[in-house]
Amino acid sequence: MNATIQTIIERRSVRAYQPRQIDDKEMQEILLAGQYAPSAMGQQPWHFTVLQNSSQLEKLDMLCKASFLNSDNTALREMASREEFKVFYHAPTLVIISGESKAIAPLYDSVLAMENMLLAAASLGIGSCWVHSPMMVYGSPEGPASLSSIGLDFPEGYIPYAAAVFGFSALPLPEATPRKPDTVTFLR
Ligand SMILES: Cc1cc2nc3c(=O)[nH]c(=O)nc-3n(C[C@H](O)[C@H](O)[C@H](O)COP(=O)(O)O)c2cc1C
């Protein structure tokens, strides 16, 4: 197995982070990997917002937690009702990829860019975890205004489609859950 496939198989979602920030050089490499994702008709309709300000991260964490508490989903409500629960797991960096809503396929483009970033991070020994809550907050009626109130604005006409936290894992990586069998059909 080559190193790329090994990285893909060994990447895990990290849910406990050290306070140590990622070096700028490595952050730039991770962002570059994101920008080399495929995109529909090569439009690259993405914008990468890198949030490394601890006070803004804390405020956004609280907004996201509130959206879990208000959600119809019992599991999300139970999770968020735990005082110590942090939506971003104390990670020092959050990246939100917003996409130009009028592009051909901004959701797919943004998600592919984020997956490239998760894999690039893993290849550098940096942990990551997709976090869906910023998109939940944005999608609520007061969402864009409440994000704006903490200094989180997106370019005109762009919508957040993908978000993930990055940093150094505070714990050994968990085992992968077993893969579902019988998910492949060859037609030859
Ligand atoms: C669309 C999507 C949304 C996710 N949202 C969250 C999230 O909000 N919080 C979280 O801790 N993990 C989230 N995850 C991570 C998954 O829980 C994780 O990928 C899955 O359990 C498999 O574990 P692995 O990434 O370690 O292989 C999300 C993953 C995807 C693809």
**78 pLDDT band (50/70/90 cuts)?**
very high
Q: Give the span between the Cα atoms of 97 and 84, in whole angstroms.
A: 27
Q: In a mutational test of the pocket of ligand 1, which residue from 130, 165, 169 has the highest number of ligand atoms less than 8 Å from its CB?
A: 130
Nearest CA owner, ligand 1 atom 15? 130
Q: Could you report the per-residue pLDDT of 82-114, keeping only the tens digit for each?
A: 999 999 999 999 999 999 999 999 999 999 999
The mean pLDDT value for 53-58 works out to 97
**132 pLDDT band (50/70/90 cuts)?**
very high
Q: What does the pLDDT read at residue 21?
A: 98
> For all residues of the chain together, what is the average pLDDT?
97
Around ligand 1, the residues with Cβ closer than 6 Å are: 12-13, 15, 129-133, 176
Query: What DSSP letter does each residue of the chain carry, written as one string?
Result: --HHHHHHHH--B---B-SPPPPHHHHHHHHHHHHTS--GGG---EEEEEE--HHHHHHHHHHHHHHHHTSS-HHHHHHHTSTT--TTTT-SEEEEEEEETTSSSHHHHHHHHHHHHHHHHHHTT-EEEE--HHHHHHHSTTHHHHHHHTT----TTEEEEEEEEEE-BSSPPPPPPPPPSS------
Q: What does the pLDDT read at residue 127?
A: 98
Percent of the chain with pLDDT over 70: 100
Q: Which token pair is 132? A: 């869906």
**54 pLDDT band (50/70/90 cuts)?**
very high
The mean pLDDT value for 75-81 works out to 93
Is this model's pTM higher than 0.85 or not?
yes
- Of 12, 175, 34, the C-alpha closest to 89 is 12
Pick the CATH number of 3-167 from 3.40.640.10, 3.20.20.70, 3.20.20.140, 3.40.109.10: 3.40.109.10
The mean pLDDT value for 11-20 works out to 98
Q: What does the pLDDT read at residue 137?
A: 96
